[in-house]
Amino acid sequence: MSANRSTIKGASHSPRDLRWGVERRLEFAEFRIVWDGRLNRNDITEFFGISTPQAAADISRYQELAPNNITYDKSAKCYIQGKAFKPVFLTADAQRYLAQLQSITDGILTADETWISRLPSFDAVPVLRREIKTDHLSGILEAIHSTSAINIKYQSMTQPEPTWRWISPHALGFDGFRWHARAFCHIDSIFKDFLLPRIQGVRGTKECEIDSNSDEAWHSYVTVQIGPHPNLNENQKRVVEVDYGMKDGALGITTRKAFLYYVLKRFSLDLPLGTRSAKDQHIVLLNSEEIDGAFAVAEQRKVG
Residues 95-139: tens digit of each pLDDT:
989 999 999 998 899 999 999 999 999 999 888 888 999 999 999
Kindly indicate the confidence band of residue 272, based on its pLDDT and cuts at 50, 70 and 90.
Answer: confident
Rounded CA gap, 6 and 69, in Å? 23
Span 49-64, mean pLDDT? 96
Out of 3.40.50.620, 1.10.10.10, 3.50.30.50, 2.70.98.40, select the CATH number for domain 15-92.
Answer: 1.10.10.10
**How far does CA 136 lie from the centroid of its chain?**
23
Specify whether the CB–CB gap between 251 and 263 falls below 8 A. Answer: no
CA distances from 122 to 102, 176, 219, 225, 229 (A): 9, 21, 39, 33, 31
Kindly indicate the confidence band of residue 168, based on its pLDDT and cuts at 50, 70 and 90.
Answer: very high
Residues 211-224: tens digit of each pLDDT:
999 999 999 999 99
What local confidence, expressed as pLDDT, does residue 2 receive?
35
Q: What is the DSSP letter of 38?
A: E
Residues 8-20: tens digit of each pLDDT:
333 444 444 455 6
Can you give the residue ranges of every domain in the chain?
15-92, 134-211, 217-301
pLDDT over threshold 60, residue 300: no
Phi, psi of 221, deg, nearest 5 = -125, 160
Residue 24: CA count within 13 A, CB half-sphere: 7
What local confidence, expressed as pLDDT, does residue 20 receive?
60
Residue 218 burial (10 A CB sphere; 0-12, 13-18, 19+): buried
Q: Which of 10, 11, 15, 45 is nearest to 27 (CA)?
A: 15
Specify whether the CB–CB gap between 169 and 151 falls below 8 A. Answer: no
Q: What percent of the chain has pLDDT over 70?
A: 91
**How far does CA 87 lie from the centroid of its chain?**
22
CA distances from 26 to 45, 93, 124 (A): 12, 17, 30
